[in-house]
Amino acid sequence: MINVVDVTQHYGIRPIIRDANLTVRSGEMVAVMGPNGMGKSTLLKTMAGILSPQKGHVEINGLVRRQSPEAELSIRRQVGYLPDHPWLPKRSSGRDFLLAVGRVYQVAEERLFDHIDRLFGLFDLRDKGDSSIMTYSNGQRKKLAVCAVLVAEPPVLLLDEPFTGGLDPSGIFALKRVLHSLAERDDVTIVMATQLPEMAEELAHKVAVLREGKIIAFDTLKGLQELTDGSGSLQEILEHLIHPQTLKNVEAYFERGK
Amino acid sequence: MRILKQIFPPIPVVAFVVAIYGLLCLPKLSPDYAGDILAVSMPWGMAVSIAYGFWRVAMFHPALNEDYRGWLVTTPWNPRMPLPLGPPTLTCYDAIPLALILSFNAAASSIGILDTMMCFSAAYFLFCILVFSITGVSHVNWIVAFACGAVALTYDNAYMVAALLLAMHIVVLLGLKASLERHPQESDFDEDSKQRAWGQLEHPMGSVWKMERLSDARNKRNAGWPFSLPRLHMENCSIRPSQSVLLSLLAAWYLYVLVCLLPKYAIAEAVVSDDFYSSTVVFVCTCSAWRLIAYGWRCASPISIAGRIATGRLIVFGYDRMVVVPAMAIAAALLSYRFLSWLGVGLSMKLPVVVFLGIFVNTFFGPTLANWRLTGMHRIRRPILQKAEYTEV
């Protein structure tokens, strides 16, 4: 379970996140959505402990981030964070990299070896598994980064734009299935920032909508539809919530064209 | 005789050393250069003494030889048995190679018995310190380090130096035995013990050799950003209170020895006072700067200076508290010097106290580095200096 309590975060003068409150229950998948620069990545970084909020705090499975060394270490082992730009060791092979990540997260060796093989099969990386990462294409690197966060087997996943960065359709399909299964079957708590409404619509139990650093809506798709008095797609709901003027402008454009 | 054969350097190596010495001396044999042989023999004699000290530990202690260590855990060897390749501890058979070196030094150069033994012991102790650090027998290191200062202080008194060297060799002998006692043995552990000894797996017992730290570091390096975040060993990046006290005392002790020795070289107290005071203050400031760098490394301020000014949050205590202890250390050093001067305490006591306080405050007071990295109100930075090793997706 993730609890974001009154979090305010700013690097410089302008607050990126303002008084954000969010509760994600175990086994729930939440999509964080909003236009560029509205604080999606910052919110995830705060949850991941990369940033320390100026106000408020983040709780993961009952432990408050940065409160005590023991709690923080325990949280770090429970959380897998995929940033928008992960760094991979160029000279290592994909397999060595995943082994290292698994060991850092203290995954049992036998399960680790087996899981790596299955992940390579899933993401079509079998042929590249033992090659050095510098020979990977961008999409393959993204797949490997996704594999790294999955191989750690943490009960909480924080994924920043997991479906972008060159993933091919089969990779997207595989990731969708895996995330769905992790949330439904393994009770893994997942928060992902995404720009793709169709992904959120298909996968997420709830959607948090960010506008100018504030969470302006956090509900299920049905709840959001009720909130906006409509029954449209998530794309339309987002437009309604974030850019209410856009829909009117579109309608006005076609009205005047008749 | 078997032990002598084991510990004596290989004959080809000895022959090579002698041949090189001969070649260097050959041009000096002419009557015109007769006195110059000493210029070759002296450094050569010292180098051979040092090399033998190095040889006696580095070649025989399994902690310094990964292949040997890995092989040992697959054998029934235990610390009560002699090591198969020979002992790293000094034995009576060492008297023979040492006697040869002493004879050479006495005959061909002007290096005395005590100086030869000091050269040999310095190298021997240095590698023993390395072994003790690896095997977790670090308390012996402190004894050796303090005793080195005592040797320097009593350098004029040959009997005292000899007694100190003997005492240090006894302590080191006990330390080496303790280090071998801590060797992981196959019978103690499960089937992973071999891998553990090779540093591939983390060992469940804290008392065995700390080889897993190497593998931790390797895993952390290989895991990349930010997948390595969960691996932060709290014991690896913090100085314990006892270490802090000992480190401060050791630095103060060395400075005391140095200040005591200077009058012997006819350096006036006034010169010492001015120069050493400034150097000591610079040293304390450097310690404080080092602490700041260590704490600020990859731990950026959560908010920029412009942000602080604009929001009126000029001080973010959760982050800025890292400056308090270094500032306290500098203040303590400066004030203690003034106070001791006012009391009329001599230079040989004043300066060590300043150094002691400078190091002690910086290393003793919290938060510890591990605590800080886990609980400080900072922004975790990516490892920006490792771009050559990593690729960004």
Using 50, 70 and 90 to split pLDDT, how confident is the model at A214?
very high
pLDDT at B218: 60
Owner of token pair 């139990």: A205
pLDDT at B202: 41
Of the residues B215, B229, B235, B381, the best mutation for testing chain A's interface (the one with the most A CB atoms within 10 Å of its CB) is B229
Report the residue of chain A nearest B301, measured CA to CA. A11
A87 and B304 in contact by Cβ < 8 A?
no
| Each residue's pLDDT tens digit, A157-209 | 999 999 988 899 999 999 999 999 999 999 999 999 998 999 999 999 999 99
Which phi and psi angles does A59 have, rounded to 5°? -115, 135
Which of B222, B391, B392 is the closest to A96 by Cβ?
B222
Integer Cα distance of B13 and B16 in angstroms: 5
Top-confidence residue, A48 or B201 = A48
- For the cut 90, the answer to whether the pLDDT of residue A247 exceeds it is no
pLDDT at B8: 87
Using 50, 70 and 90 to split pLDDT, how confident is the model at B289?
very high
A85 and B392 in contact by Cβ < 8 A?
yes
Integer Cα distance of B41 and B258 in angstroms: 29
Owner of token pair 């670090």: B138
Top-confidence residue, B27 or A196 = A196
- For the cut 80, the answer to whether the pLDDT of residue B305 exceeds it is yes
Task: Using a CB–CB cutoff of 8 Å, tell me whether B374 touches chain A.
Answer: yes
Report the residue of chain A nearest B234, measured CA to CA. A69
Residue A186: count other Cβ atoms within 10 Å of its Cβ: 10
Owner of token pair 């469940």: B204
| Each residue's pLDDT tens digit, B84-126 | 888 999 999 999 999 999 998 888 777 888 889 999 999 999 9
Which helix (H) or strand (E) is A183 found in, with range?
helix A169-185
3-state helix, strand, coil in chain B (%, to 5): 70, 0, 25
DSSP per residue over B119-136, as a string?
A: HHHHHHHHHHHHHHHHHT
| Each residue's pLDDT tens digit, B111-165 | 888 889 999 999 999 999 999 988 888 889 999 999 999 999 998 899 999 999 9
- For the cut 90, the answer to whether the pLDDT of residue B51 exceeds it is yes
Tell me the average pLDDT across A129-156. Answer: 94
pLDDT at B195: 45
Query: Torsion angle of alpha carbons B241, B242, B244, B248, nearest 10°?
Result: 140
Top-confidence residue, B83 or B231 = B83
Whose CA is closest to A52, among A2, A7, A97, A113?
A7
Tell me the average pLDDT across B236-245. Answer: 82
For residue B311, list chain A residues with Cβ-Cβ distance below 8 A.
Answer: 10, 13
Which helix (H) or strand (E) is B52 found in, with range?
helix B37-58
Query: What count of Cα atoms within 13 Å lies in the side-chain half-sphere of residue B384?
Result: 6
Which of A50, A67, A141 is the closest to B375 by Cβ?
A67
Q: What percent of chain B has pLDDT over 70?
A: 82
Report the residue of chain A nearest B310, measured CA to CA. A13
Which of A13, A77, A96 is the closest to B230 by Cβ?
A77
Report the residue of chain B nearest A42, measured CA to CA. B379
Query: Hey, which of A93-102, B26-35, B211-220 has the most confident mean pLDDT?
Result: A93-102
A86 and B219 in contact by Cβ < 8 A?
no
| A·B CB contacts under 8 A | 138
A97 and B222 in contact by Cβ < 8 A?
yes
DSSP per residue over B260-314, as a string?
A: HHGGGGT--HHHHHHHHHHHHHHHHHHHHHHHHHHHHTTEE-SS-HHHHHHHT--
Integer Cα distance of B264 and B260 in angstroms: 8
Q: What percent of chain A has pLDDT over 90?
A: 62
- For the cut 50, the answer to whether the pLDDT of residue B169 exceeds it is yes
Tell me the average pLDDT across A98-123. Answer: 92
Residues 36-65 of B with CB under 8 A from A: none
Whose CA is closest to B209, among B144, B140, B130, B142?
B130
Task: Using a CB–CB cutoff of 8 Å, tell me whether B234 touches chain A.
Answer: yes
Least confident of B173-182, B196-205, B285-294: B196-205
For residue B382, list chain A residues with Cβ-Cβ distance below 8 A.
Answer: 87
For residue A87, list chain B residues with Cβ-Cβ distance below 8 A.
Answer: 224-226, 382-383, 390-393
Residues 262-321 of B with CB under 8 A from A: 302-304, 306-307, 310-311, 313, 316, 318-319
* Beta carbons of A58 and A2 less than 8 angstroms apart: yes
Which of B220, B232, B377 is the closest to A52 by Cβ?
B377
Of the residues B195, B231, B393, the best mutation for testing chain A's interface (the one with the most A CB atoms within 10 Å of its CB) is B393
pLDDT at B212: 47
- For the cut 70, the answer to whether the pLDDT of residue B384 exceeds it is no
Strand partners, A4: A22, A58
Q: Is A194 in a helix, a strand, or coil?
A: coil
For residue A97, list chain B residues with Cβ-Cβ distance below 8 A.
Answer: 222-224
Which of B219, B302, B303 is the closest to A104 by Cβ?
B219
- For the cut 60, the answer to whether the pLDDT of residue A76 exceeds it is yes
* Beta carbons of A52 and A213 less than 8 angstroms apart: no
Q: Write the CB contacts of B342 (distance below 8 Å, at least 6 apart in sequence).
A: none
Report the residue of chain B nearest A138, measured CA to CA. B393
Using 50, 70 and 90 to split pLDDT, how confident is the model at B186?
very low
For residue B318, list chain A residues with Cβ-Cβ distance below 8 A.
Answer: 52
- Average model confidence (pLDDT) across chain A: 90
pLDDT at B184: 64
- For the cut 80, the answer to whether the pLDDT of residue B234 exceeds it is no
Task: Using a CB–CB cutoff of 8 Å, tell me whether B236 touches chain A.
Answer: no
| Each residue's pLDDT tens digit, A52-74 | 998 999 999 999 999 988 899 89
